[in-house]
Amino acid sequence: MLLLAVLSALCGALIGLRFGALVVLPAAAASLVLIAGGGLILGIGLAHIALAFVIAAVTLQLGFLGGAALRTHTPDPQRTPPRFLAPFIDG
């Protein structure tokens, strides 16, 4: 479960760095499909599959929040800074 949580948080952070908030729901749905499929193939009970999905969904969202926060606090080299003082400078 710890490996699942770490991988899910890293995937969430990558999603947060690159994409917007609307990508979290399809990512959670994809993780549900993968966890349910893998759990049924391995013969794991439904309670454990549900617990694994809850852990993956929560850590995915926490990782997304961390990645989005990191994206907002890192400078973008292609973006030019705003010029607020330009109309007030003579010459």
**C-alpha closest to that of 23 among 34, 33, 37, 13:** 13
Predicted pLDDT of residue 72: 85
Mean pLDDT of the chain: 89
Predicted pLDDT of residue 77: 73
Residues found in the chain: 91
Predicted pLDDT of residue 69: 92
Predicted pLDDT of residue 87: 60
d(C-alpha 29, C-alpha 15), whole Å:
14
Q: For 25-58, how does the pLDDT look when each residue is reduced to its tens digit (9 = 90+)?
A: 999 999 999 999 999 999 999 999 999 999 999 9
**C-alpha closest to that of 15 among 2, 31, 1, 3:** 31
Predicted pLDDT of residue 85: 59
d(C-alpha 86, C-alpha 19), whole Å:
33
